[in-house]
Homo-oligomer: A and B are copies of this chain.
Protein backbone atom coordinates (compact mmCIF):
# COMPACT_ATOMS: atom_id res chain seq x y z
CA UNK A 1 0.00 0.00 0.00
CA UNK A 2 2.99 2.28 0.55
CA UNK A 3 3.30 5.04 -1.99
CA UNK A 4 5.86 7.70 -2.70
CA UNK A 5 3.78 10.50 -1.21
CA UNK A 6 4.87 9.91 2.37
CA UNK A 7 6.06 12.21 5.16
CA UNK A 8 8.11 11.16 8.18
CA UNK A 9 7.47 12.79 11.53
CA UNK A 10 9.51 12.12 14.67
CA UNK A 11 7.74 12.85 17.92
CA UNK A 12 9.16 12.99 21.44
CA UNK A 13 7.23 13.00 24.69
CA UNK A 14 8.83 13.53 28.09
CA UNK A 15 7.60 14.29 31.59
CA UNK A 16 10.42 16.64 32.67
CA UNK A 17 9.82 16.49 36.47
CA UNK A 18 10.61 20.19 36.56
CA UNK A 19 9.70 21.37 40.06
CA UNK A 20 12.23 24.10 40.75
CA UNK A 21 14.21 23.60 44.00
CA UNK A 22 12.35 20.33 44.73
CA UNK A 23 13.11 18.03 41.80
CA UNK A 24 16.66 16.68 41.97
CA UNK A 25 19.28 18.23 39.65
CA UNK A 26 16.62 20.28 37.91
CA UNK A 27 18.85 22.84 36.14
CA UNK A 28 21.38 20.20 35.06
CA UNK A 29 18.63 17.96 33.73
CA UNK A 30 17.05 20.83 31.77
CA UNK A 31 20.46 21.54 30.26
CA UNK A 32 20.74 17.86 29.26
CA UNK A 33 17.21 17.86 27.84
CA UNK A 34 17.93 21.03 25.85
CA UNK A 35 21.15 19.55 24.43
CA UNK A 36 19.42 16.33 23.47
CA UNK A 37 16.50 18.10 21.77
CA UNK A 38 18.89 20.38 19.90
CA UNK A 39 20.89 17.39 18.70
CA UNK A 40 18.05 15.02 17.89
CA UNK A 41 15.89 17.57 16.07
CA UNK A 42 12.56 15.82 16.49
CA UNK A 43 9.76 17.30 14.43
CA UNK A 44 7.50 17.65 17.45
CA UNK A 45 8.46 17.73 21.13
CA UNK A 46 5.74 17.34 23.74
CA UNK A 47 6.84 18.15 27.28
CA UNK A 48 5.00 17.81 30.59
CA UNK A 49 5.81 19.10 34.08
CA UNK A 50 7.68 22.15 32.81
CA UNK A 51 6.33 23.91 35.89
CA UNK A 52 8.41 27.04 35.61
CA UNK A 53 7.97 29.43 32.70
CA UNK A 54 11.61 30.45 33.14
CA UNK A 55 12.67 26.91 32.28
CA UNK A 56 10.41 26.96 29.25
CA UNK A 57 11.92 30.24 28.10
CA UNK A 58 15.47 29.00 28.52
CA UNK A 59 14.60 25.88 26.49
CA UNK A 60 12.98 28.15 23.89
CA UNK A 61 16.17 30.16 23.56
CA UNK A 62 18.27 27.03 23.27
CA UNK A 63 15.98 25.47 20.66
CA UNK A 64 15.48 28.65 18.62
CA UNK A 65 17.30 27.09 15.65
CA UNK A 66 16.18 23.46 15.83
CA UNK A 67 12.58 24.19 16.89
CA UNK A 68 11.64 27.74 15.93
CA UNK A 69 7.98 27.26 16.89
CA UNK A 70 6.79 26.65 20.41
CA UNK A 71 3.95 27.22 22.83
CA UNK A 72 3.61 27.10 26.61
CA UNK A 73 0.14 26.41 27.99
CA UNK A 74 -0.77 28.51 31.02
CA UNK A 75 -3.40 27.40 33.51
CA UNK A 76 -4.14 27.05 37.22
CA UNK A 77 -1.95 28.47 39.97
CA UNK A 78 1.44 27.23 38.83
CA UNK A 79 0.59 26.50 35.20
CA UNK A 80 -0.35 23.38 33.30
CA UNK A 81 3.30 22.33 32.89
CA UNK A 82 2.63 21.62 29.21
CA UNK A 83 4.89 22.81 26.43
CA UNK A 84 5.29 22.04 22.78
CA UNK A 85 8.27 22.67 20.51
CA UNK A 86 8.01 22.17 16.80
CA UNK A 87 10.01 22.39 13.59
CA UNK A 88 6.75 23.13 11.79
CA UNK A 89 4.79 26.32 12.14
CA UNK A 90 2.15 26.32 14.88
CA UNK A 91 -0.93 28.03 13.46
CA UNK A 92 -3.31 27.85 16.34
CA UNK A 93 -3.50 26.67 19.92
CA UNK A 94 -6.31 25.89 22.33
CA UNK A 95 -6.38 24.76 25.93
CA UNK A 96 -9.02 22.68 27.69
CA UNK A 97 -8.84 22.62 31.49
CA UNK A 98 -10.17 19.44 33.06
CA UNK A 99 -13.17 20.09 35.27
CA UNK A 100 -11.78 17.86 38.03
CA UNK A 101 -8.21 17.58 39.22
CA UNK A 102 -7.84 16.46 42.80
CA UNK A 103 -8.36 18.50 45.93
CA UNK A 104 -6.71 21.79 46.95
CA UNK A 105 -6.28 20.58 50.54
CA UNK A 106 -4.20 17.62 49.33
CA UNK A 107 -1.35 20.10 48.98
CA UNK A 108 1.32 17.38 49.36
CA UNK A 109 -0.01 15.76 46.17
CA UNK A 110 -0.10 19.16 44.52
CA UNK A 111 -2.07 18.12 41.43
CA UNK A 112 -4.88 20.63 42.05
CA UNK A 113 -2.47 23.55 41.93
CA UNK A 114 -1.12 22.39 38.57
CA UNK A 115 -4.32 23.22 36.66
CA UNK A 116 -4.10 20.02 34.63
CA UNK A 117 -5.31 20.40 31.08
CA UNK A 118 -4.93 19.23 27.52
CA UNK A 119 -3.23 21.59 25.11
CA UNK A 120 -3.80 21.48 21.38
CA UNK A 121 -1.60 22.92 18.68
CA UNK A 122 -2.46 22.90 14.99
CA UNK A 123 0.61 22.52 12.79
CA UNK A 124 1.07 22.46 9.07
CA UNK A 125 3.43 19.67 8.07
CA UNK A 126 3.91 20.42 4.40
CA UNK A 127 0.38 20.62 3.06
CA UNK A 128 -0.99 18.49 5.89
CA UNK A 129 -2.85 19.70 8.95
CA UNK A 130 -1.70 17.96 12.12
CA UNK A 131 -3.61 18.35 15.39
CA UNK A 132 -1.11 17.74 18.15
CA UNK A 133 -2.23 17.26 21.75
CA UNK A 134 -0.18 17.21 24.93
CA UNK A 135 -1.58 16.34 28.32
CA UNK A 136 -0.83 15.18 31.85
CA UNK A 137 -3.53 13.50 33.91
CA UNK A 138 -3.87 13.30 37.69
CA UNK A 139 -1.26 11.06 39.31
CA UNK A 140 -2.07 7.70 40.87
CA UNK A 141 -0.68 7.66 44.40
CA UNK A 142 -2.11 4.37 45.60
CA UNK A 143 -3.31 1.81 43.09
CA UNK A 144 -5.19 -0.35 45.61
CA UNK A 145 -7.20 2.48 47.06
CA UNK A 146 -7.10 5.15 44.41
CA UNK A 147 -9.33 7.95 45.64
CA UNK A 148 -8.54 9.97 42.52
CA UNK A 149 -9.81 7.30 40.10
CA UNK A 150 -13.16 9.04 39.36
CA UNK A 151 -11.29 12.29 38.70
CA UNK A 152 -8.89 10.54 36.33
CA UNK A 153 -11.75 8.75 34.54
CA UNK A 154 -13.54 12.10 34.07
CA UNK A 155 -10.27 13.58 32.78
CA UNK A 156 -9.93 10.70 30.30
CA UNK A 157 -13.57 11.25 29.30
CA UNK A 158 -13.01 14.96 28.72
CA UNK A 159 -9.74 14.24 26.90
CA UNK A 160 -11.44 11.91 24.42
CA UNK A 161 -14.30 14.40 23.99
CA UNK A 162 -11.87 17.22 23.32
CA UNK A 163 -9.83 15.22 20.81
CA UNK A 164 -12.87 13.78 19.05
CA UNK A 165 -14.62 17.11 18.68
CA UNK A 166 -11.61 19.22 17.71
CA UNK A 167 -9.90 16.86 15.26
CA UNK A 168 -12.52 16.60 12.50
CA UNK A 169 -10.53 18.89 10.24
CA UNK A 170 -7.16 17.24 10.88
CA UNK A 171 -5.27 14.99 8.48
CA UNK A 172 -3.33 13.44 11.32
CA UNK A 173 -3.81 13.42 15.09
CA UNK A 174 -0.98 12.96 17.58
CA UNK A 175 -1.30 12.82 21.36
CA UNK A 176 1.67 12.63 23.68
CA UNK A 177 1.83 12.78 27.41
CA UNK A 178 1.87 11.29 30.84
CA UNK A 179 -1.58 9.73 31.17
CA UNK A 180 -0.83 8.24 34.60
CA UNK A 181 -2.73 5.14 33.51
CA UNK A 182 -1.55 1.62 32.74
CA UNK A 183 -2.19 0.39 29.18
CA UNK A 184 -5.38 -1.49 30.03
CA UNK A 185 -6.76 0.91 32.65
CA UNK A 186 -10.34 2.05 32.15
CA UNK A 187 -9.47 5.63 31.14
CA UNK A 188 -6.94 4.41 28.61
CA UNK A 189 -9.38 2.00 27.00
CA UNK A 190 -12.00 4.74 26.95
CA UNK A 191 -9.62 7.16 25.26
CA UNK A 192 -8.36 4.69 22.63
CA UNK A 193 -11.73 3.13 21.83
CA UNK A 194 -13.65 6.37 21.52
CA UNK A 195 -11.11 8.35 19.54
CA UNK A 196 -9.60 5.50 17.51
CA UNK A 197 -6.14 6.62 18.57
CA UNK A 198 -3.51 3.91 18.29
CA UNK A 199 -0.68 3.25 20.72
CA UNK A 200 2.69 3.69 19.04
CA UNK A 201 4.28 1.08 21.35
CA UNK A 202 1.76 -1.55 20.23
CA UNK A 203 1.88 -0.50 16.57
CA UNK A 204 5.58 0.03 16.03
CA UNK A 205 7.50 -2.04 13.50
CA UNK A 206 10.76 -1.71 15.47
CA UNK A 207 11.19 -1.07 19.20
CA UNK A 208 14.24 -0.18 21.24
CA UNK A 209 13.71 0.61 24.89
CA UNK A 210 12.67 -0.65 28.28
CA UNK A 211 10.99 -4.02 28.72
CA UNK A 212 7.29 -3.83 27.87
CA UNK A 213 7.74 -0.20 26.86
CA UNK A 214 7.84 0.88 30.50
CA UNK A 215 8.33 4.59 31.14
CA UNK A 216 8.61 4.63 34.94
CA UNK A 217 11.25 2.05 35.76
CA UNK A 218 12.99 0.70 38.84
CA UNK A 219 16.39 1.22 37.18
CA UNK A 220 15.89 4.99 37.11
CA UNK A 221 17.90 6.44 40.05
CA UNK A 222 15.18 9.05 40.75
CA UNK A 223 12.56 6.36 41.30
CA UNK A 224 11.84 4.87 44.70
CA UNK A 225 11.46 1.14 44.13
CA UNK A 226 9.04 0.89 47.02
CA UNK A 227 6.55 3.23 45.38
CA UNK A 228 6.49 1.11 42.23
CA UNK A 229 5.39 -2.04 44.07
CA UNK A 230 3.73 -4.40 43.20
CA UNK A 231 5.25 -3.63 39.77
CA UNK A 232 8.86 -4.50 40.51
CA UNK A 233 10.37 -3.56 37.17
CA UNK A 234 8.20 -0.57 36.42
CA UNK A 235 5.04 0.60 34.66
CA UNK A 236 4.02 2.09 31.33
CA UNK A 237 2.10 5.34 31.86
CA UNK A 238 3.52 7.67 29.18
CA UNK A 239 2.27 7.37 25.62
CA UNK A 240 2.45 8.62 22.09
CA UNK A 241 -0.86 7.89 20.38
CA UNK A 242 -1.79 8.68 16.81
CA UNK A 243 -4.36 8.28 14.11
CA UNK A 244 -4.85 9.22 10.48
CA UNK A 245 -7.95 10.43 8.70
CA UNK A 246 -10.01 9.68 5.63
CA UNK A 247 -7.17 11.29 3.66
CA UNK A 248 -4.09 9.96 5.44
CA UNK A 249 -2.80 6.67 6.80
CA UNK A 250 -0.31 6.79 9.64
CA UNK A 251 2.21 4.06 10.46
CA UNK A 252 4.69 3.82 13.30
CA UNK A 253 8.04 2.74 11.81
CA UNK A 254 10.01 2.75 15.03
CA UNK A 255 9.69 3.58 18.67
CA UNK A 256 12.21 3.96 21.45
CA UNK A 257 12.45 4.91 25.10
CA UNK A 258 15.41 5.98 27.19
CA UNK A 259 16.52 3.28 29.62
CA UNK A 260 17.00 4.96 32.95
CA UNK A 261 20.40 6.45 32.19
CA UNK A 262 22.04 8.73 29.65
CA UNK A 263 25.51 7.90 28.26
CA UNK A 264 28.23 10.25 29.61
CA UNK A 265 25.91 11.75 32.21
CA UNK A 266 25.60 10.89 35.90
CA UNK A 267 21.79 10.83 35.88
CA UNK A 268 18.88 10.51 33.45
CA UNK A 269 16.79 13.31 31.91
CA UNK A 270 13.93 12.81 34.34
CA UNK A 271 12.22 10.32 36.63
CA UNK A 272 10.16 9.33 33.59
CA UNK A 273 11.69 7.87 30.46
CA UNK A 274 11.52 9.85 27.22
CA UNK A 275 9.54 8.31 24.34
CA UNK A 276 10.32 8.77 20.66
CA UNK A 277 8.08 7.59 17.86
CA UNK A 278 8.83 7.66 14.16
CA UNK A 279 5.57 8.11 12.31
CA UNK A 280 5.09 7.80 8.55
CA UNK A 281 2.13 9.65 7.03
CA UNK A 282 0.86 8.39 3.69
CA UNK A 283 -1.94 9.71 1.56
CA UNK A 284 -4.16 6.95 0.36
CA UNK A 285 -5.64 7.13 -3.10
CA UNK A 286 -9.35 7.78 -3.42
CA UNK A 287 -10.08 4.20 -4.51
CA UNK A 288 -8.95 2.92 -1.15
CA UNK A 289 -11.09 5.31 0.84
CA UNK A 290 -14.75 5.58 1.53
CA UNK A 291 -17.35 2.94 0.99
CA UNK A 292 -15.02 0.06 0.03
CA UNK A 293 -13.21 0.19 3.31
CA UNK A 294 -16.38 0.94 5.23
CA UNK A 295 -18.15 -2.19 4.02
CA UNK A 296 -14.99 -4.25 4.58
CA UNK A 297 -14.90 -3.10 8.18
CA UNK A 298 -18.61 -3.18 9.00
CA UNK A 299 -18.40 -6.26 11.17
CA UNK A 300 -15.42 -5.07 13.16
CA UNK A 301 -17.05 -1.63 13.52
CA UNK A 302 -20.10 -3.20 15.15
CA UNK A 303 -17.86 -5.19 17.48
CA UNK A 304 -15.96 -2.05 18.39
CA UNK A 305 -19.18 -0.14 19.04
CA UNK A 306 -20.42 -2.88 21.36
CA UNK A 307 -17.08 -2.82 23.19
CA UNK A 308 -17.29 0.96 23.47
CA UNK A 309 -20.76 0.75 25.00
CA UNK A 310 -19.32 -1.59 27.65
CA UNK A 311 -16.38 0.71 28.36
CA UNK A 312 -18.52 3.84 28.68
CA UNK A 313 -20.88 1.93 30.97
CA UNK A 314 -17.90 0.92 33.11
CA UNK A 315 -16.75 4.53 33.21
CA UNK A 316 -20.25 5.61 34.27
CA UNK A 317 -20.11 3.16 37.15
CA UNK A 318 -16.77 4.58 38.25
CA UNK A 319 -18.11 8.15 38.05
CA UNK A 320 -21.10 7.06 40.13
CA UNK A 321 -18.72 5.76 42.80
CA UNK A 322 -17.07 9.19 42.76
CA UNK A 323 -20.50 10.83 43.03
CA UNK A 324 -21.39 8.85 46.14
CA UNK A 325 -18.03 9.68 47.65
CA UNK A 326 -18.35 13.41 46.89
CA UNK A 327 -21.91 13.42 48.24
CA UNK A 328 -20.83 11.85 51.51
CA UNK A 329 -17.89 14.25 51.79
CA UNK A 330 -20.20 17.20 51.21
CA UNK A 331 -22.60 15.82 53.80
CA UNK A 332 -19.74 15.49 56.29
CA UNK A 333 -18.65 19.07 55.61
CA UNK A 334 -22.23 20.27 56.12
CA UNK A 335 -22.65 18.30 59.35
CA UNK A 336 -19.33 19.53 60.72
CA UNK A 337 -20.31 23.09 59.84
CA UNK A 338 -23.62 22.71 61.65
CA UNK A 339 -21.78 21.32 64.69
CA UNK A 340 -19.40 24.27 64.62
CA UNK A 341 -22.36 26.62 64.54
CA UNK A 342 -24.06 24.76 67.41
CA UNK A 343 -20.86 24.97 69.47
CA UNK A 344 -20.70 28.71 68.83
CA UNK A 345 -24.31 29.19 69.95
CA UNK A 346 -23.70 27.04 73.03
CA UNK A 347 -20.66 29.08 73.94
CA UNK A 348 -22.47 32.36 73.48
CA UNK A 349 -25.38 31.01 75.57
CA UNK A 350 -23.11 29.87 78.40
CA UNK A 351 -21.43 33.28 78.43
CA UNK A 352 -24.64 35.26 78.08
CA UNK A 353 -26.99 33.55 80.53
CA UNK A 354 -25.05 34.51 83.72
CA UNK A 355 -24.58 37.99 82.30
CA UNK A 356 -28.34 38.31 81.86
CA UNK A 357 -28.95 36.94 85.39
CA UNK A 358 -27.18 40.10 86.62
CA UNK A 359 -24.53 39.74 89.24
CA UNK A 360 -23.85 36.04 88.70
CA UNK A 361 -20.19 35.26 88.27
CA UNK A 362 -18.89 34.77 84.73
CA UNK A 363 -18.16 31.02 84.50
CA UNK A 364 -16.11 31.33 81.32
CA UNK A 365 -12.39 32.16 81.55
CA UNK A 366 -11.88 34.88 78.98
CA UNK A 367 -8.96 33.16 77.20
CA UNK A 368 -10.87 29.92 76.66
CA UNK A 369 -13.84 31.93 75.41
CA UNK A 370 -11.84 33.62 72.65
CA UNK A 371 -9.95 30.47 71.69
CA UNK A 372 -13.17 28.47 71.44
CA UNK A 373 -14.84 31.23 69.40
CA UNK A 374 -11.85 31.34 67.03
CA UNK A 375 -12.05 27.55 66.66
CA UNK A 376 -15.77 27.77 65.82
CA UNK A 377 -15.16 30.42 63.19
CA UNK A 378 -12.32 28.39 61.70
CA UNK A 379 -14.60 25.33 61.50
CA UNK A 380 -17.36 27.37 59.89
CA UNK A 381 -15.07 28.92 57.29
CA UNK A 382 -13.34 25.64 56.43
CA UNK A 383 -16.56 23.67 56.12
CA UNK A 384 -18.12 26.44 54.03
CA UNK A 385 -15.19 26.39 51.59
CA UNK A 386 -15.27 22.58 51.50
CA UNK A 387 -19.01 22.62 50.90
CA UNK A 388 -18.54 24.94 47.91
CA UNK A 389 -15.69 22.81 46.62
CA UNK A 390 -17.61 19.52 46.90
CA UNK A 391 -20.62 21.13 45.24
CA UNK A 392 -18.46 22.04 42.25
CA UNK A 393 -17.03 18.50 42.24
CA UNK A 394 -20.54 17.03 42.34
CA UNK A 395 -21.72 19.21 39.45
CA UNK A 396 -18.73 18.13 37.34
CA UNK A 397 -19.23 14.43 38.13
CA UNK A 398 -22.97 14.67 37.46
CA UNK A 399 -22.26 16.51 34.20
CA UNK A 400 -19.85 13.79 33.05
CA UNK A 401 -22.31 11.09 34.07
CA UNK A 402 -25.11 12.79 32.10
CA UNK A 403 -22.89 13.03 29.04
CA UNK A 404 -21.91 9.37 29.37
CA UNK A 405 -25.56 8.29 29.66
CA UNK A 406 -26.40 10.26 26.53
CA UNK A 407 -23.37 8.82 24.72
CA UNK A 408 -24.33 5.24 25.61
CA UNK A 409 -27.84 5.87 24.26
CA UNK A 410 -26.45 7.30 21.06
CA UNK A 411 -23.96 4.42 20.62
CA UNK A 412 -26.73 1.89 21.17
CA UNK A 413 -28.80 3.70 18.54
CA UNK A 414 -25.88 3.37 16.13
CA UNK A 415 -25.46 -0.31 17.00
CA UNK A 416 -29.06 -0.92 15.91
CA UNK A 417 -27.90 0.04 12.43
CA UNK A 418 -25.67 -3.08 12.40
CA UNK A 419 -28.07 -6.06 12.53
CA UNK A 420 -25.18 -8.44 11.90
CA UNK A 421 -23.58 -7.35 15.12
CA UNK A 422 -26.12 -9.04 17.35
CA UNK A 423 -24.27 -12.37 17.74
CA UNK A 424 -21.16 -10.28 18.54
CA UNK A 425 -22.85 -8.55 21.39
CA UNK A 426 -24.59 -11.71 22.56
CA UNK A 427 -21.20 -13.15 23.44
CA UNK A 428 -20.45 -10.23 25.72
CA UNK A 429 -21.39 -10.05 29.35
CA UNK A 430 -25.10 -9.34 29.81
CA UNK A 431 -25.96 -5.72 30.51
CA UNK A 432 -26.77 -4.81 34.09
CA UNK A 433 -30.41 -4.80 35.13
CA UNK A 434 -30.67 -1.02 35.31
CA UNK A 435 -29.02 -0.53 31.92
CA UNK A 436 -31.24 -0.74 28.83
CA UNK A 437 -29.94 -3.44 26.51
CA UNK A 438 -28.32 -2.36 23.27
CA UNK A 439 -30.97 -4.37 21.48
CA UNK A 440 -33.95 -3.97 23.74
CA UNK A 441 -36.87 -4.59 21.34
CA UNK A 442 -39.21 -2.61 23.55
CA UNK A 443 -37.18 0.56 23.37
Residues of A within 8 A of B (CB): 71-77, 79, 89-97, 99, 115, 120, 161-162, 165-166, 168-169, 366-367, 370-371, 374, 377, 381, 388, 391-392, 395-396, 398-399, 402-403, 406-407, 410, 413
Contacts and interface: CB of A to CB of B under 8 A. Distances in A.
Contacts of A168: 166, 168-169
A443 to B, nearest CB: 13
A96 B96 CA distance: 7
A168 B129 CA distance: 13
Best-buried of A92, A371, A381, A413 by chain B (most CB within 10 Å): A92
A94 B194 CA distance: 14
A74 B395 contact: yes
Contact of A77 (B165, B388, B402): B388
A97 B99 contact: yes
Contacts of A73: 399
A74 B396 contact: yes
A402 B391 CA distance: 32
A365 to B, nearest CB: 10
Contacts of A75: 99, 395-396, 399
5 contacts: A74-B398, A76-B392, A77-B388, A92-B165, A92-B406
Given A74-B396, A93-B403, A370-B371, 14 more contacts: A73-B399, A76-B395, A77-B391, A77-B395, A79-B395, A90-B406, A94-B162, A95-B99, A95-B403, A97-B97, A168-B168, A169-B169, A366-B366, A366-B367
A96 B120 CA distance: 14
Contact of A395 (B115, B366, B381): B115
A332 to B, nearest CB: 18
A94 B165 contact: yes
